[in-house]
């Protein structure tokens, strides 16, 4: 049985007949009830604030928007007023500045305050004194250049060629001696470092920064004009050292091992701290290489002539 058939049956449901007196009773009841003949319904009085309760969702955003608009317009008005005041102040202060820049009395001098006038005078006097000093400095530089040229021409004319050669040799010897001294300082620094690090020489020259006390100029041979000493350990590079460091981490048990070598003068600094002068130039055969290490081994000196070795040009320092 389908639901449509059930619905049709339900729609055809019989209507029970009302009792005959029911209608009369209802009508009598209706006529007896005083409310039926009452006056027409008065419109329900609106509760106080009912319109507000109904419209507040719409009114609240409107009121907020109006308040925002009023605030913005007020702020805009204040901005315009402040801008106008700033412009007027700028105009009032811009006049004496223009006078000072132009340097002429085109404006009204009386309008500027007295303090500004005094400052202007002070600056003018300062500029005049600086200009005078610059002129004096330029004149001094010109005098120095002139004197330097005179000195060069005079020294060239003063010495003969022999004297000039002797002077040059003396200068070279002085530089070599200075190089020996520097190598001895380096050897001493290496010894100090080794005392603190298990009798081993440092792995590189930069480790000697503490022992050298920042005197990196001893790493540059005085005859090496192409190198400059490093100013601090952070800026030290291989270009700041003239000497070849040949015995990194070398033990102190090899005193004849070559520690430093000057490629210009041929001086050798040994592990024992001594310095042999001009060995590379005068006795290259004294330098022996074993196991990749360089040693200086001088031939045994003859017993009868102990001083000949010193006169041959190699001096132990």
Q: If you ran DSSP here, which 8-state letter would residue 294 be given?
A: E
Q: Which of 14, 198, 292, 306 binds another protein (CB under 8 A)?
A: 14
DSSP secondary structure of 4-39: HHHHHHHHTPPPPPPPHHHHHHHHHHHHH-TTTTSP
Residue 19 phi, psi (nearest 5): -60, 150
Whichever of 14 and 48 has its CB closer to another protein, that residue is 14
Question: From the CB of 11, what's the least distance to another protein, in Å?
Answer: 6
Residue number with CB closer to another protein (35 or 91) = 35
Cα separation, 191 vs 76, in Å, equals 81
Binding mask 36-55 for another protein (x = CB under 8 A): xxxxxx--------------
Is 152 a binding residue for another protein by CB under 8 A? The answer is no
Widest pairwise Cα distance in the chain: 173
C-alpha angle 255-259-262 in degrees, rounded to nearest 5:
135
Smaller CB distance to another protein: residue 13 or 157? 13
Q: Which stretch binds another protein (CB under 8 A): 1-9, 147-155, 232-240, 287-295?
A: 1-9
Would you count residue 6 as binding another protein (CB under 8 A)? Answer: yes
Nearer to another protein, 10 or 101 (CB): 10
CA–CA distances in Å: residue 254 to residues 59, 181, 191, 205, 286: 102, 22, 13, 19, 16
Residue (21 or 160) nearer to another protein, CB: 21
- Determine whether 100 is exposed, middle or buried from the number of CB atoms within 10 Å of its CB (0-12, 13-18, 19+): middle
Scanning residues 55 to 94, which ones bind another protein (CB under 8 A)?
none
101 counts as binding another protein under rule CB under 8 A:
no
Does residue 307 belong to the site contacting another protein (CB under 8 A)?
no
Q: What Cα–Cα distance (Å) separates residue 22 from each residue in 29, 97, 114?
A: 10, 112, 117
Q: Which stretch binds another protein (CB under 8 A): 28-36, 94-102, 182-190, 221-229?
A: 28-36
CB 26 to another protein: min, Å: 5
- Contacting positions for another protein (CB under 8 A): 1-3, 6-7, 9-19, 22-23, 25-27, 29-31, 33, 35-41
């Amino acid at each position: 049985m389908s639901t449509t058939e059930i619905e049709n049956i339900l729609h055809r449901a019989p209507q029970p007949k009302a009792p005959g007196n029911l209608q009369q009773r209802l009508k009598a009841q209706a006529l007896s009830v005083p409310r039926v003949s009452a006056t027409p319904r008065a419109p329900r009085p609106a509760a106080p604030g009912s319109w507000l309760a109904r419209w507040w969702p719409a009114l609240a955003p409107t009121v907020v928007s109006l308040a925002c608009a009023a605030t913005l317009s007020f702020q805009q008005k204040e901005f315009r007023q402040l801008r106008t005041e700033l412009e007027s102040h700028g105009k009032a202060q811009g006049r004496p500045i223009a006078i000072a820049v132009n340097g002429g009395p085109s404006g009204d001098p009386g309008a500027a305050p007295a303090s500004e006038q005094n400052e202007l005078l002070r600056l003018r006097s300062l500029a005049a004194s600086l200009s005078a000093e610059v002129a004096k400095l330029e004149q001094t530089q010109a005098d120095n250049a002139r004197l330097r040229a005179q000195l060069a021409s005079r020294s060239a004319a003063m010495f003969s060629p022999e004297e000039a050669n002797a002077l040059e040799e003396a200068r070279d010897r002085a530089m070599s001696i200075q190089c020996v001294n520097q190598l001895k300082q380096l050897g001493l620094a290496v010894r100090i470092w080794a005392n603190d690090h298990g009798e081993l020489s440092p792995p590189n020259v930069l480790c000697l920064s503490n022992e050298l006390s920042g005197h990196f100029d001893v790493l540059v041979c005085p005859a090496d004009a192409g190198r400059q000493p490093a100013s601090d350990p952070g800026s030290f590079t291989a270009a700041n050292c003239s000497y070849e460091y040949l015995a990194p981490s070398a033990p102190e048990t090899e005193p004849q091992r070559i520690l430093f070598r000057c490629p210009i003068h041929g001086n050798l600094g040994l592990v024992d701290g001594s310095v042999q002068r001009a060995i590379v130039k005068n006795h290259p055969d004294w330098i022996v290489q074993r196991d990749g290490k360089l040693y200086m081994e001088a031939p045994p000196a003859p017993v009868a002539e102990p001083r000949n070795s010193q006169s041959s040009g190699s001096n132990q320092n």
